[in-house]
Structure 1
């Protein structure tokens, strides 16, 4: 293929550009996937070929490549934790949005909110996009909290209510009043609401002591019990995450730089 030849004999100063175009071409040419496109293998090769090139760590193209690769892995949360531990894409909103969406889809609303909060504290760009997605997330949680209150007025829905938008935080007052007698109390919003923990700032984590072999910093979902950002624990990463086996798709071959 043309791209394979370009990768093999590339001598320019932006190898990511070739891989980025190759991946986009594969997605457009084989939108249904399958063995002809073999997108998983292409992503795996790209991640390996560009591994350790720190000049790309804040490049949206590089983050996007990793996030697509995460979609092909058995546990994308491990990939996101690894990206954060290596500070790959941590200045970009897309990392936190994607991470939070996966957690939300699994019902991890509190953990998803923590990830959003981390991105907001670090002022990940574009910040307005991150803020918009966070508000949409809070609105969805608010709706779920209302439904939960209606179905089980005496149930414990505190977790959902704490994540809901500040404008809707007064929903907690509805708890226990009964399905038919609920009345929303007056809640002032806007300038009347003060920022929580205004003195809290985003401090970069101490750099992990990594050996020559890359390591994962795994996000243990079961260990999060409070409002603080979960602490990562470095674990051995002798090889990249294993992509999911896909029907009619070739398995990845030996890793090489393609040059």
Structure 2
């Protein structure tokens, strides 16, 4: 291939440019992935070939290759730990955003918030992008907390609502089918009503409300003396994690004529 030849005989001062173009071409040519594109193998070759080029450790292009390679690994969290231990991409916001998103998807909100806080304290660039993603993360966690409270109301609150406002529930709403249990609809009153805006959507819970939740620290980028970041002990990875094993592929071995 043209790119393979360019990589082999490259003599310029920016080898990352060739790998970056090669990978983007592969993604565009083989958008569905598959063995033909062999994207994971190219990514692995790229990050290893450039691993000694420390001038790329703060380059968004190089971090992007690592993050794409992480999608090919069985455990991307191990790869993020490796990147931090090697100081690869630790000045870039995208590392912390991607790391936190994976943790959030697994329900580990506390660790995801700590990762965001680490990036904010390092003032990873672009900082405004990192701050925006952190606020969106806090909003999602707040919404899930409110929805969880709505789905599991206290029995005392349900009794109180039923006693004071019986006209809000109709017979049709309470009628069930078969033996399924039916829960009476809940009407928001008092403080619960104040937490709902005019369009019926939840407003973002303030940092003060979240800070009352034990075990969940909230970082306020506008505060000069925010909460101290708990120390996350980095693991010293000697090598990056291996990519996923793929079916019908032979592992590399010594060349043999077979004679």
**When the two structures are superposed, what TM-score results if normalisation uses the length of structure 2?**
0.69
Note the alpha carbon deviations across 1:25-45, whole angstroms, 9 max, x for none: 000000001111000000011
> What's 2:230 paired with?
228
In structure 1, which of residues 198, 206, 211 is the aligned counterpart of residue 224 of structure 2? 198
CA contact (8 A) 2:91 2:124 kept: yes
Q: Secondary structure at the match of 1:21?
A: helix
> What's 2:19 paired with?
19
2:32, 2:78 → 1: CA distance?
26
Q: CA RMSD in A?
A: 2.9
> What's 2:149 paired with?
149
Q: Count the aligned residue pairs.
A: 201
Which protein is bigger by CA-based radius of gyration? Answer: 2
CA contact (8 A) 2:124 2:130 kept: yes
Residues 252 and 198 of structure 1, relative CA distance in 2, 3 Å threshold: farther
CA contact (8 A) 1:44 1:252 kept: no
> What's 2:169 paired with?
none
Residues 195 and 17 of structure 1, relative CA distance in 2, 3 Å threshold: closer
How far the C-alpha of 1:228 sits from its partner, in A, is: 1.2
Residues 189 and 232 of structure 1, relative CA distance in 2, 3 Å threshold: closer
**When the two structures are superposed, what TM-score results if normalisation uses the length of structure 1?**
0.69
The runs of at least 4 consecutive aligned structure 1 residues that moved more than 2 Å come to 178-182, 184-190, 194-202, 245-248, 250-254
CA contact (8 A) 1:124 1:130 kept: yes
2:251, 2:59 → 1: CA distance?
25
Q: Secondary structure at the match of 2:143?
A: helix
How far the C-alpha of 1:179 sits from its partner, in A, is: 7.6
Q: Secondary structure at the match of 1:233?
A: coil
> What's 2:129 paired with?
129
1:252, 1:48 → 2: CA distance?
17
* Structure 1: gaps (5+ residues): 155-177, 203-226, 255-259
> What's 2:89 paired with?
89
> What's 1:53 paired with?
53
> What's 1:241 paired with?
241
With CA pairs under 8 Å and 6+ residues apart, which has the higher RCO, 1 or 2?
1
Residues 232 and 51 of structure 1, relative CA distance in 2, 3 Å threshold: same
